[in-house]
Homo-oligomer: A and B are copies of this chain.
Amino acid sequence: MITRAGYLTTRFGGYLHREVPEEDAELSHVGPDTPCGEYLRRFWQPICFSDELKDLPHRVKILGEELVVFRDLSGTVGLLELHCPHRGASLEFGLIDAKGIRCCYHGWQFAADGTILETPGEPADSTLKDRLYHGAYPTHEYGGLVFAYMGPPDRQPPFPVYDSFVRPGYRLIPGQKYFYPCNWLQIMENAMDPAHTAFLHTIVSGAVFTNEFGMLPELEFIETPVGMMYIATRRVEQNIWVRMVEAVLPNLQQVAPIWEDGHQEHSFSGPMMSRWIVPVDDTNTMFLEFRHASETEGLTPAWWADRAIMLPGQLAADSSEAGQRQPGDYEAQVSQRPITTPPACAVMQASSSQHTVTTPLCACRPMRIRQWTAGSCAKPGGGSRMVISGIRRCWHPERPQRRQVDDSGVSFVISHLPRKGIFR
């Protein structure tokens, strides 16, 4: 009898390695009544850009639910269940008017809040429209994005405006929307993974950001009141370049500029963008972002304020060979399988006693789940920190010391942490 294992301890051992790693369904599934699906529904989720709502309804799939979003002629934005409650025809074919949307098939009319306004063709004495409602979700527009709250009505939080959204001297620019055919979690993990900026985006594919990303940074991971951050510190000649990316749980990334190279000394500044990783369903994910552009020339490059410009390294390559020659985030994340495991496979599971720094988000899973259940990090406005990126001349020639660079209005001090961070 063959003994097979989840990890291998011999050369040429493929035959002995049969266990396909399993996904962590508690975190990866997003539909109604799943643990993480319900958790994600406690947060306002972006569903489209405001300027996508014109004269035609817009069909979307969010958290596994088929929906239609539209702006009626009075300006109200509605998010309704896609299928008309009468005969099931899709409301994406509906007629928008001043009061709401009218189904193409028999003309039933619905308001943005789900009120059934008219049921032509029904008996004149029908009370149906007075008693029943179509499924609807509340919406909120901010920064050029349309957000929805799809959770329990009695738990609806105010829309959270983080400090980074209202930074003096900056304006918000709705950016790009794009899709990956894989689970949301392996994408969200990527945001907390500073090592891949050195390999994937620089060493392997050539410098798609700047050459200086090719250095493997000193790494720390810290918990914040709303999630976690990494702190990647590189020495660039006589400078110390401290770069942070923040994960606001469950699915917002605040990403430091990718155009920096560490040569230009400056104080800490905030993120270049706030990007939501919105699950379409268990194996498809939508990216929606707004960008932070300084109103003063120079702090952000001109191209970043041009919404049509795409962040490099994000989209699928034009061909299979092009993807092999210059893989980017799409190739690295989607190719992990439609739903990967965190950590991805058996080698990592076998090494669970020594947590790896490149899978930090999931490494803190048990702690997070407890927080989620307690609702402690669901508090809106709990506060992102603007401590995202700073570059300072280093006095100590041997070793970066980050205590020297906490000089930009930071409300907490980044204490010096040992390299392997909090995941011991």
A369 within 8 A of B: no
> How far apart are A247's CB and chain B's nearest CB, in angstroms?
16
Residues of A192-233 at the interface with B, using a CB-CB cut-off of 8 Å, are: 193, 195-196, 198-200, 203-205, 216
Would you call A135 and B8 a contact (CB within 8 A)?
Answer: yes
15 contacts across the A-B interface (CB closer than 8 A): A7-B85, A10-B114, A13-B135, A14-B79, A84-B345, A86-B345, A87-B189, A87-B358, A102-B204, A104-B332, A105-B332, A116-B347, A123-B356, A127-B354, A128-B354
Would you call B106 and A196 a contact (CB within 8 A)?
Answer: yes
Give the number of times this chain occurs in the complex, counting copies.
3
| Contact of A152 (CB < 8 Å), options: B15, B135, B343, B419 | B15
B contact residues around A324 at 8 Å (CB)? 56-57, 92-93
Would you call A17 and B345 a contact (CB within 8 A)?
Answer: no
Would you call A104 and B359 a contact (CB within 8 A)?
Answer: no
Would you call B88 and A341 a contact (CB within 8 A)?
Answer: yes
B contact residues around A128 at 8 Å (CB)? 347, 351, 354
| Contact of A16 (CB < 8 Å), options: B16, B87, B153, B186 | B153
Question: How many interface residues does A have (CB within 8 Å)?
Answer: 104
List the 6 closest A-B pairs by CB distance, nearest first.
A88-B344, A90-B335, A85-B347, A88-B336, A121-B195, A14-B135
> How far apart are A292's CB and chain B's nearest CB, in angstroms?
27
Cα distance A345–B66 in the bound complex, in angstroms: 14
Q: What is the chain B residue whose CB lies nearest that of A105?
A: B332
Q: What is the chain B residue whose CB lies nearest that of A58?
A: B324
| Contact of A136 (CB < 8 Å), options: B12, B121, B133, B354 | B12
A327 within 8 A of B: yes
Residues of A90-116 at the interface with B, using a CB-CB cut-off of 8 Å, are: 90, 92-93, 95, 102-107, 113-116
Q: What is the chain B residue whose CB lies nearest that of A357?
A: B121
Residues of A117-149 at the interface with B, using a CB-CB cut-off of 8 Å, are: 120-124, 126-128, 131-138
